[in-house]
Amino acid sequence: MAAVVPGAAARAQDPAIVEVLATVLQAEDARRFDAALLTGAARHADPGVRQVAALAVGRIGDRAGTDLLLEMLRDPDSTVQRSVAFALGLLADERALPTLRELVVNTPPDRQHDVHAEAMTAITKLGGTGAAAAVREVLGPWVSRAASTVPPVSVDAALTDAWRLGAEAPVELLIEFTVSPVRRVKLGAIYSLARLRPPAASDVLLLASDDADAEVRAYAVRALTASYADTTGLDRSALAARVRRLVSDEDAHVRINALRSLGTYRDSALVTTAGDRVADGDLGVRVQAVLTLGDLGGAAAGAALRDQVGRRPFAVRRAALIGLARVAGTAALDLVGEWLANPDWTFRLAGAEALGHIPKDTVIPWLTYLTQDEDPRVAAVALTSLAAVGPDTATVWSRQLITHRDAVVRAAAADRLAAAANPADIDRLVAGFRLALRDSIADARIGIVTALGRIAERGFAERVAVEDRFLAAFPTVDDYLVRRAALERFPEAARRWGPPTPIETGRGLQDYREIARRSLTGAGGGQTLIVDTDRGRITIDLFARDAPISVTVFLQFVDQRVFDGTLWHRVVPNFVIQGGDPRGDGWGGPGVVLRDEVNRNRYQRGTVGLALSGPDTGGSQFFITHSPQPHLDGIYTVIGRVISGMDVVDLTTQGDRIRSIRRQ
């Protein structure tokens, strides 16, 4: 998929076209809806410009652009139309429903293509009874032929994305399509049912858990949890027995999902089943088996976890230590103490996290001491754990730590002071905010604004105090993330500081010209990265045309060697591996904040996306998916896809290192 159609590449290198593309990118990046600019681009002679304009309208997110997109849906170029349909899904304006519905319903099946699939997905994103009725209207005529016919692409999309409708989803129709001989149709129906977990689908999900297709089994078993047994009235023991069988499935992804579901039963009688997998040949299965032992509990689980604390790799040891703390409580303190004495900060951090799972007064002095650890990454986790087991003590220490030198420690302290909402903390929070203005990440600033907003909510006197001592000192704030947080949590601050958009991006028009020329004109849009890791080599193709600003900045990080020597700091088996954090604890970044460039690329196995802590908060952290994850589509920016080395991705565990990333 390209943001500029191949036939337009030569024209797109024209300086006049580059100029239009640059101005559109600038408006999009600033989240500024410029009606005249975008209307002009939407009616441009070049279809590539029109396509970029459509995506920009959707990404900006202002529903003032709905009418323009509806006009563009009649564009003669299908590549423009599909981007328009995608953009309408981003806006999720119900005014678009009649037009989207008409496009899908009134197009004969043999004339449907990607545009109609995107229109169907957009309808599901609108949600509500109207969208649900449109989905029923699309699926209904094909139910009687589900077992023998290949339906149009709009049916595929309706099935895969029906889960977005929640309680409005047409469960009875989804069930009918699970008998389809067409793999993508069956997968879509099972995926939505597995996410919705309706009682009416219990028989279908049970049947699907024995399907010949491993992906179908993986979706189905993920739904067969203890809570699903309770919801449906199924016998817990019988359902657990079904899940137990799948823990030994031939496919590693099925085994992982089965172990995850098994843990929800919290039954120590299932420990042997999980314990059998701690020696599994697949590292992801091993890690999940250890996590499941922690969920199941009991003396046998504790013994198995204690044994695994000394095993390799680090991810297994870490999961075992935390699981042992959950299962054995204070009896795990001997091993936790050994980890806390380790000079390696990653061990002390895991120890501090483990202490947060021992709800006893015994651990409060330990955690209090750890909040003063020389490594702020350990101190931040210790304070978070302290808040879990000793909230009052955590509040006392947060009053000191709100002015800590580290941004993440201050963010953790702000969260605790927000929970306390004590007017006596106003001056401390003001001092912390002053320090936080220099932070490269916004978390402490956002946390402090949230805390002050909660204090202001307590009454008239508190509101006046916050206004006099905080807002008077900070009459303006440049950070759009802080202004957005104020809009949600501190109305008076939002009124004084103004709306979060438009955003001052720090880039000039010449920067956007260069990005447009390199990424959107066919003059350098393709890039391949070589990622060398402890486990081997991964090769990634970047999608510069689909996420031009994000890929441009990502390549700058590569050239600056930002990633070299960093950790895969988060690995969730059969979900993602995540890296790119210079701090190594999941909180860090290079001081650059990226706006989302969500695009039509779907999260399949090996998709590379940018991690977020909320909308428009991208940075250097990225992830790679182990398996299809449709629920991420249209939410996280896709920047590329693995073209070789997925075996390395599968082998990667938390704590493994990225040795280097370089351009090919």
Q: In whole angstroms, give the CA distance from residue 118 to residue 104.
A: 10
If asked whether residues 593 and 446 sit together in one domain, one would say no
pLDDT (average), residues 137-164:
96
If asked whether residues 398 and 526 sit together in one domain, one would say no
* Domain end among 448, 471, 504: 504
If asked whether residues 480 and 548 sit together in one domain, one would say no
Q: For residues 433 and 462, is the Cβ–Cβ distance under 8 A?
A: no
Find, among 252, 341, 326, the residue nearest to 293 by Cα: 326
Provide the pLDDT for residue 521: 79
Residue 1 has pLDDT above 50, yes or no: no
Domain count, the chain: 3
Which contiguous run of DSSP H or E holds residue 607? strand 607-610
How do residues 403-424 score in pLDDT, each as one tens digit? 999 999 999 999 999 999 999 9
Buried b (16+ CB within 10 A) or exposed e, 500-522: bbebebeeeeebbbebbbbbbbb
55 φ, ψ (degrees, to nearest 5): -60, -40
Identify the bridge partners of residue 505 per DSSP, sorted by sequence position. none
Q: In whole angstroms, give the CA distance from residue 595 to residue 615.
A: 8
Distances from the Cα of 359 to the Cα of 167, 268, 364, 388, 477, angstroms: 37, 20, 9, 8, 40
Q: In what order do the strands lie in the sheet with 638-644?
A: 570-572, 576-579, 622-625, 607-610, 638-644, 536-543, 526-533, 658-663
How do residues 198-217 score in pLDDT, each as one tens digit? 999 999 999 999 999 999 99
Strand-strand pairing, 570-572 and 576-579: antiparallel
Q: In whole angstroms, give the CA distance from residue 78 to residue 84.
A: 10
Q: In whole angstroms, give the CA distance from residue 231 to residue 244.
A: 20
Residue 186 has pLDDT above 70, yes or no: yes
If asked whether residues 514 and 535 sit together in one domain, one would say yes
If asked whether residues 526 and 616 sit together in one domain, one would say yes
How do residues 338-351 score in pLDDT, each as one tens digit? 999 999 999 999 99
Q: What is the DSSP string of 24-72?
A: HHHHHHHT---HHHHHHHHT-SSHHHHHHHHHHHHHH--GGGHHHHHHH
The answer as to whether 620 is a domain residue is yes
Provide the pLDDT for residue 5: 42
Residue 397 has pLDDT above 90, yes or no: yes
Strand-strand pairing, 638-644 and 576-579: unpaired
If asked whether residues 460 and 522 sit together in one domain, one would say no
If asked whether residues 456 and 496 sit together in one domain, one would say yes
* Domain end among 179, 201, 224: 179
How do residues 229-259 score in pLDDT, each as one tens digit? 999 999 999 999 999 999 999 999 999 999 9
Q: For residues 80 and 56, is the Cβ–Cβ distance under 8 A?
A: no
Structure tokens at 8: 């337009």
Residue 2 has pLDDT above 70, yes or no: no
* Domain end among 162, 179, 196: 179
The answer as to whether 315 is a domain residue is no
End-to-end CA distance of the chain: 21
Could you tell me the pLDDT band of residue 8, with boundaries at 50, 70 and 90?
very low
The answer as to whether 558 is a domain residue is yes
Q: In whole angstroms, give the CA distance from residue 546 to residue 525.
A: 9
pLDDT (average), residues 295-306:
98
Could you tell me the pLDDT band of residue 523, with boundaries at 50, 70 and 90?
low
Q: In whole angstroms, give the CA distance from residue 460 to residue 490.
A: 14
The answer as to whether 312 is a domain residue is no
- 654 burial type by CB count under 10 A (0-12 exposed, 13-18 middle, 19+ buried): buried
How far, in whole angstroms, is CA 553 from its chain's centroid? 20
Buried b (16+ CB within 10 A) or exposed e, 415-447: bbbbbbbbeebbebbbebbebbeebebbbbbbb
Q: Which residue has the tokens 């802080």?
A: 482
The answer as to whether 375 is a domain residue is no
If asked whether residues 75 and 118 sit together in one domain, one would say yes
Q: Which residue has the tokens 């449907």?
A: 112
Structure tokens at 404: 């800590």
**In the 8-state DSSP scheme, what is residue 644?**
E
Q: What is the DSSP string of 196-212?
A: H--GGGHHHHHHHTT-S
Please give the mean pLDDT across all residues of the chain.
96
Q: For residues 372 and 340, is the Cβ–Cβ distance under 8 A?
A: no
Q: In whole angstroms, give the CA distance from residue 253 to residue 246.
A: 10
Of all residues in the chain, the percent with pLDDT exceeding 90 is 96
pLDDT (average), residues 353-378:
97
Structure tokens at 408: 């993440």
Using the Cα atoms of residue 399, residue 404, residue 410 and residue 413 in order, give the sign of their dihedral.
Answer: negative
Provide the pLDDT for residue 187: 98
Any residues with CB less than 8 A from the CB of 551 and at least 6 apart, and which? 519, 527, 542, 543, 544, 639, 640
Range of the domain at 471: 390-504
Distances from the Cα of 440 to the Cα of 49, 79, 91, 587, angstroms: 34, 39, 30, 11
If asked whether residues 25 and 83 sit together in one domain, one would say yes
CATH, residue 41? 1.25.10.10
If asked whether residues 598 and 583 sit together in one domain, one would say yes
